[in-house]
């Protein structure tokens, strides 16, 4: 097997494809960036007559550069997207106006939220009153009466 410029370039391209395939099968191992470095090394080996030792050095440099670029990409995109309250149902309810179904007496009662009924704490109000959710303690909602003139 000849390890001339063209053969070595093909080996780099095969290595890039293999690394990319491994990344597809086992995502999260960061191999896609190393695959990119192998691809760049292979393309460079096709275009320029460079020996294998220099190709290895070039691959090392491309790998370092690719990992730096990849880390910056992941850091930038990690905080963007998604709903920060996605798994915090009670935090999603804050600000909603709901109806009291079991009068709040001695600071405790029940309110209807959508199609479910939740425990609630707050000032005493009669059943049928409208209250606004202003917080939560576990799965117990903290509520406050809505003024009668409000159309929430």
Distance in angstroms (rounded) separating the CA atoms of residues 113 and 103: 15
Q: What is the β-pairing status of strands 130-137 and 97-105?
A: antiparallel
Identify the H or E element spanning 45. helix 31-47
The residues that bridge with 97 in the sheet, in sequence order, are: 132
Q: Retrieve residue 113's tokens.
A: 């939220």
Q: Phi first, then psi: give them for residue 71, nearest 5 degrees.
A: -65, -45
- Ranges of residues in the chain with a pLDDT under 50 are 1, 150, 152
Can you give the pLDDT at residue 147? 85
Q: Is the pTM of the predicted complex or chain greater than 0.75?
A: no
Tokens 């609630």 correspond to: 120
Give CA angle at 38 (27, 10), nearest 5°. Answer: 120
What digits encode the pLDDT tens for the residues 5-39? 558 889 999 999 999 999 888 877 678 899 999 99
Can you give the pLDDT at residue 5? 53
Can you give the pLDDT at residue 96? 93
Can you give the pLDDT at residue 29? 67
Tokens 């963007």 correspond to: 80
Residues 30-47 as b or e (16 or more Cβ within 10 Å = b): ebbbbbbbbbbbbebbee
Can you give the pLDDT at residue 1? 43
Considering only CA atoms, which of 135, 152, 117, 118 is closest in space to residue 144?
135
Considering only CA atoms, which of 127, 119, 117, 116 is closest in space to residue 143?
119
90 and 141 in contact (C-beta within 8 Å)?
Answer: yes
Can you give the pLDDT at residue 36? 94
């Amino acid at each position: 097997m000849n390890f001339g410029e063209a053969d070595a370039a093909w080996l780099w391209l095969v290595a890039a494809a293999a690394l990319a395939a491994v990344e597809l099968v086992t995502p999260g191992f960061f191999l896609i960036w190393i695959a990119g470095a192998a691809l760049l090394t292979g393309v460079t080996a096709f275009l320029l007559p460079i020996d294998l030792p220099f190709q290895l050095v070039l691959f090392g440099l491309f790998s370092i550069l690719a990992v730096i670029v990849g880390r910056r990409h992941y850091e930038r995109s990690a905080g963007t997207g998604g709903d920060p309250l996605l798994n915090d149902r009670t935090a999603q309810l804050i600000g909603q106006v709901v109806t009291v179904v079991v009068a709040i007496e001695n600071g405790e009662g029940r309110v209807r939220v959508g199609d479910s009924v939740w425990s609630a704490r707050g000032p005493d109000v009669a059943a049928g009153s409208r209250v606004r959710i202003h917080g939560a303690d576990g799965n117990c909602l903290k509520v406050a009466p809505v003024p009668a003139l409000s159309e929430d």
